[in-house]
A and B are shown apart, each in its own frame.
Chain A
């Protein structure tokens, strides 16, 4: 006998189909005792969860308590109704991307990348752009048909645009790692608005990346694409190659 999954009504899977079991870990400004435990239970109840089991609580000091809990949800999701915007160009490896650009465009694509505004964390842009890349995936600098420049951290939006214009870039890559109080949204919006006000937005393919970004959000902010956690250079590279070919045709 096999398990039959109804895509129109899926639920979290613990160890049996449709048990709805989920894991929770949170802290409350409540005492580490039966009162606190009850508070945690009430919270989960208010979240429409049932079969609540507070399996662990510990005192965090300063009047806070950590709770670990399991509970079940009765909610279901209709997978067939989900529609998200994703980067839908095929993903190729470095060699295939280079060959594709060679054949379809015939010259290299100029890319400038940076961590903009206050953001000093280059780990994302470095992983995508630097020669070495990340986790055994080479970065854009290694590609034969990309002329990629990583401007590094804390580059003001004005400067990034100025350099992109001066260098006649085809693509602008922007990384935003720090997301406290939505600073990444503000910075990314600022860059797009500046580009638009200078009338140069459409000169470039503009792509953003970072742990709290995805394609849908990027499109909403006015970018051509967005790459979140788990993206590698080859994802970005393939997208650039396909989109540049498309742009050249138009």
Chain B
């Protein structure tokens, strides 16, 4: 195996700074919650559906928020009402939406009854989530583990039924993971749309029903071809934990779930994002869902050589945030990308060095390698070749997940043929270079080693600076991606609130206990 020569002490140093950065935010997670976390609690209590096109979880949380009682947590109020009305959580939510009932204007039921109700609901849901995880594990046992690098392709027609056709075709061609890209702008919706959807822009809405439809399609084709096909969506934006919960319920396998992406690239408030990512990652950890992070975004906005260290720094911060949510390394798909200008001499060596650095830092993680997009110009022939080089690096540096490049990148969302051609490219390169890396060693003082060490040194310097300032202040100073974000700016801050002493989130409590965090 091609190996970098990097001093362990430098890796430890970088990790230590990242740990300090993340630990200094523990006050936020222990003292605050958000409307999206509370809506997630309702979804986990099996409250679903819409009234007058607004999702029930939103209606209920908005009411509790208006009544100034959300600081106790939504779970308590619903359970209290369930006992009072002798009704299910769904029935309670429905009568609230119809304006027939106000859960804050009824007598207080005995505490032990409330907790008993919550205990029952929590156990039931967590049992379901565990059974989904078990199904996944058993499928891998039956069909064999996922390939490495796994072939990851995107479907994005806007219509979930077209998506299923394309996903099944891709699975037959050799795809291991199907990602359904979300409709552009969904990340900024402060609710999750409902039902099966057939219109979207640049993607398909993430809804629970759409998750279910695609899951069924992939299970069918998987059974036929003898392989478990993984399904991916996005636990990101203003509804991070809600989508994680929906994914856990419907057995998604992978979730895009970056700790800082929303803050930097979607201008979502930092407190809101850090809180939401904490619970969403905990749900993912509990459900056995692999997360993927979006470091590729640093390189599409900045230069891929100059700012290579921002990728490494973000990976290390994402790792620490994942660890405190209970995620294990084998479920952390830390991201990076092949985005260096192809006109640069030795661009391939730079890419190889960067990819090796990622693998060296996270040897047990299914690191996710993202394809060239910035220099995909519409020249499909050149892009196809770039994708081949990108596939070559992935195979020889043992990446976990290969998001296949499409030759029609920068032209349109992939056509059926584009995807097939991309899979053929990857299959050929992976096979042709299978044992390549066993045959070579890097020269100790050569370009690749020097480059990787330089990037790591820059990373350490950067993380040290951020740990001294604190993450929020660093973001205010535009230290990340040259983008300035403030603690009180961005979308969604009004959905953050301080928890009272008797706040209770039964799902978080139980998950923490079982995950040992």
* A202 on the B face (CB < 8 A): no
Q: Which residues of A contact B169 (CB under 8 A)?
A: 60-62, 64
User: Once the chains are docked, how many angstroms separate the CA of A123 from the CA of B337?
Assistant: 15
Let me know if A180 and B411 touch, CB within 8 A.
Answer: no
* Contact, CB under 8 Å: B420 / A66: yes
B267 touches A118 (CB 8 A): no
Cβ–Cβ contact B201 & A181, under 8 A? yes
Chain B 366-383 near chain A by CB (<8 Å), digits 1 or 0 = 000000011101100000
Digit string of B415-436 for contact with A (CB within 8 Å is 1, else 0)?
1110011000000000000000
Q: Assess the B417–A27 pair: CB atoms within 8 A.
A: yes
User: With A27-B417, A61-B172, A120-B266 given, is the CB distance from A179 to B412 under 8 Å?
Assistant: yes
Contact in complex: B410, A64 (CB < 8 Å): no
The CA-CA distance from A229 to B158 in the complex, in Å, is 24
Supposing A27-B416, A179-B412, A211-B411 touch, asked if A229 and B266 sit within 8 A by C-beta, the answer is no
A189 sits at the interface (CB 8 A): no
Asked if A178 meets B411 with Cβ closer than 8 Å, knowing A66-B420, A123-B373, the reply is no
Query: Which residue of A is nearest B306, CB measured?
Result: A132
What are the interface flags for B151-171 relative to A under an 8 Å C-beta threshold, 1 for contact and 0 otherwise? 000000010000001001101
Q: Which residues of B contact A153 (CB under 8 A)?
A: 265-267
A34 close to B (CB within 8 Å): no
Chain B residues with Cβ under 8 A from A126's Cβ? 300-301
Expressed in whole angstroms, the Cα–Cα distance for A132 and B378 within the complex equals 22
Query: Does B105 reach chain A (CB closer than 8 Å)?
Result: no
Contacts of A121 in B (CB 8 A): 184, 202
Closest-CB distance, A69 to chain B (whole angstroms): 13
When distances are taken between beta carbons in the complex, the residues of chain B under 8 Å from A178 are 184, 201-202
Is A154 engaged at the interface, CB distance under 8 Å to the other chain?
A: yes
Chain B contributes a number of interface residues (CB within 8 A of A) equal to 40
Closest to B168 in A: A62
Interchain CB contact under 8 A, B172 and A62:
yes
The distance from the CB of A177 to the nearest CB of chain B, in whole angstroms, is 8
Chain A residues within an 8 Å CB radius of B301? 122, 126, 130
Is B173 on the interface with A (CB-CB < 8 A)?
yes
Bound-state CA distance A64–B162 (Å) is 13
**B188, A123: Cβ atoms under 8 Å?**
no
State in angstroms the CA–CA spacing of A179 and B184 once bound together: 11
Q: Are A118 and B303 in contact (CB under 8 A)?
A: no
In which size bucket is the chain A interface? 20 to 34
Q: Which residues of B contact A211 (CB under 8 A)?
A: 378, 410-411
- Chain A residues contacting B420 (CB-CB under 8 Å) are 58, 60, 66
* Complexed CA–CA distance, A117 and B173 (Å): 36
Which residues of chain A come closer than 8 Å to B172, judged between CB atoms? Answer: 60-62
Q: Is the CB of B185 within 8 A of A132?
A: no
Q: Is B187 an interface residue (CB 8 A)?
A: yes
Q: Does A222 touch B at the CB level, under 8 Å?
A: no
Question: Chain B, 168-209, contact with A by CB distance < 8 Å: what is the 0/1 string?
Answer: 110111000000000111011000000000001110000000
Q: Does B413 contact A (CB under 8 A)?
A: yes
Q: Which residues of B sit under 8 angstroms from A64, Cβ to Cβ?
A: 169, 416
Give the CA-CA distance A19 to B227 in the complex, in Å: 48
B170 CB to closest chain A CB (Å) equals 8
Q: For residue B418, give the distance in angstroms from its CB to the closest CB of chain A.
A: 10
Q: What is the CA–CA distance of A62 and B416 in the complex, to the nearest angstrom?
A: 11
Is B187 touching A120 in the complex (CB atoms < 8 A)? yes
Taking a contact as CB atoms under 8 Å apart, the answer to whether A135 and B343 are in contact is yes
- The reply on A12 being an interface residue by CB < 8 A is no
**A60-B173, A154-B188 known; A181 vs B343 contact (CB < 8 Å):** no
Give every chain B residue within 8 A of A230 (Cβ-Cβ): 377
B505 in the interface (beta carbon within 8 A): no
Instruction: Determine whether the beta carbon of B300 is less than 8 Å from that of A123.
Output: yes
CB <8 Å contact, B416 and A60: yes
A219: interface (CB < 8 Å): no
Does any Cβ of B come within 8 Å of A152's Cβ?
Answer: yes
A206 to chain B, nearest CB (A): 22
Query: B341 near A: Cβ within 8 Å?
Result: yes
Cβ of B488 under 8 Å from chain A:
no
CB distance from B380 to the nearest CB of A (A): 9
- The distance from the CB of A220 to the nearest CB of chain B, in whole angstroms, is 22
Chain A residues with CB under 8 Å of B171's CB are 61
Q: Mark A210-250, 1 if CB is under 8 A from B, else 0.
A: 01000000000000000001100000000000000000000
Q: Does B302 contact A (CB under 8 A)?
A: yes
Interface residues of A in 105-136 (CB under 8 A from B): 117-123, 126, 130-132, 134-136
**Contact B341–A120 (Cβ < 8 Å):** no
Query: CA separation between A130 and B303, bound complex, in Å?
Result: 11
- With contacts A135-B343, A154-B185, A154-B188 taken as known, whether A118 is within 8 angstroms of B377 at the C-beta atoms is no
CA distance A62 to B155 in the complex (A): 15
Question: What residue in chain B is nearest A117 (Cβ atoms)?
Answer: B185
Q: Across the interface, name the chain A residue whose C-beta is closest to B265.
A: A153
Residues of A within 8 A of B168 (CB): 61-62
What separation, in Å, do the CA atoms of A61 and B377 have in the docked complex? 29
Please determine whether B185 and A118 come into contact, CB atoms closer than 8 angstroms: yes
* Interface pairs (18), CB distance under 8 Å: A25-B417, A61-B168, A62-B165, A62-B168, A62-B172, A66-B421, A118-B184, A120-B184, A120-B187, A132-B303, A152-B267, A153-B266, A153-B267, A178-B201, A180-B202, A183-B201, A211-B411, A230-B377
Binding site for A on B (CB under 8 A): 158, 165, 168-169, 171-173, 183-185, 187-188, 200-202, 265-267, 300-303, 341, 343, 373-375, 377-378, 410-413, 415-417, 420-421, 482-483
Nearest 8 pairs between A and B by C-beta? A61-B172, A118-B185, A61-B169, A178-B202, A62-B169, A27-B417, A183-B201, A118-B184
14 further A-B contacts with Cβ under 8 Å, apart from A154-B185, A180-B413, A211-B378, are: A27-B417, A61-B172, A62-B168, A118-B185, A120-B266, A121-B184, A126-B301, A130-B301, A130-B482, A135-B341, A152-B267, A154-B266, A180-B201, A229-B378
